[in-house]
Structure 1
Amino acid sequence: MLVRTHPAFANQHYRDMELQSRVASASPHGLVSLLYEELLRALDLLTATAKRGSAISGNPHQVKALSIIIALDSSIDLANGGDLAGVLQRIYRSAVHRLNEAARTNDVAGITELRDAISEIAYAWAALAN
């Protein structure tokens, strides 16, 4: 018996497999880049959810975005990162607060502002690789 799957599930499955492959072959610098990509994607999906009028507090995309921000924060090497490490730590901790506040109030503009700020950091990180 042939079982058909919904195209969205198949797309997510292939996306997950591709991400796993990228993680397995990534350098430490590349892993951080992947985290930024996934964070930006989660924020985009969260924005779309909010624009549809759905509650975003506790939404899986909010949880994923928070998890990634916390992972980025916990990966900072404060002993060797100099002033930049402290700045990034303050940014990430502020991002957690801003995301929680935006989710609590379903504030699309707040999520968009956070996404814009994170994207600047992600672009700067990517530029370091070049």
Structure 2
Amino acid sequence: MNHNQYASKAYSQVSLESSVMGASPHQLITMLFEGAHASLLRAKIAAETGNVALRGKELSRAINIIGNGLQSVLDHERGGTVSAELDRLYSYMIQSLLKANLDNDIALIVHIDRVLLNITDAWKQIG
């Protein structure tokens, strides 16, 4: 990595950290949705171009965001039925992405991304 690439990466990291530090809880969840969406788009492109390593990396990143980010912060005490339904939906999404990676199933990646975008849109309307 040359000096310019290193400086650019460092700047991006500082910019991201600044965004996260100043974000409300609602904005942080929005950032998680956007991060998962970006990873799914990169995974789709990687699958289309036959880049198996990148596909796996991006699907793993999306799975991590969905499971350890979105699913783990669900408030089951106050969320009631909505929280329980989202929990099941996130589990379905994770299982589907694991299958999509195993089978190189681009259509399944696209499907899960659409589901994610629907949830994202609903979340943004709440804010």
**TM-score (norm: length of structure 2):** 0.89
Q: Which amino acid aligns with 1:17?
A: V
Spell out the pairing of 1:1-130 with structure 2 (5 A cutoff).
4-5=2-3, 7=5, 11-55=8-52, 59-70=56-67, 71-129=69-127
* Residues 57 and 106, structure 1, Cα contact 8 Å, conserved in 2: no
Distance 1:92 1:29, change over 3 A: same
Cα distance in 2, alignment partners of residues 118 and 83 from structure 1: 19
Number of aligned positions between the proteins? 126
Cα distance in 1, alignment partners of residues 55 and 110 from structure 2: 18
Q: Deviations over 1:56-78 (max 9, x none)?
A: 58722122111101121111011
* Residues 57 and 100, structure 1, Cα contact 8 Å, conserved in 2: no
Q: Which amino acid aligns with 1:75?
A: V
In structure 2, stretches of 5+ residues that fail to align are none
CA apart distance, 1:120: 0.7
**TM-score (norm: length of structure 1):** 0.87
- Residue 48 of structure 1: SS of its match in structure 2? helix
In structure 1, stretches of 5+ residues that fail to align are none
CA apart distance, 1:12: 4.4
**Which of the pair is proportionally richer in helix?**
2
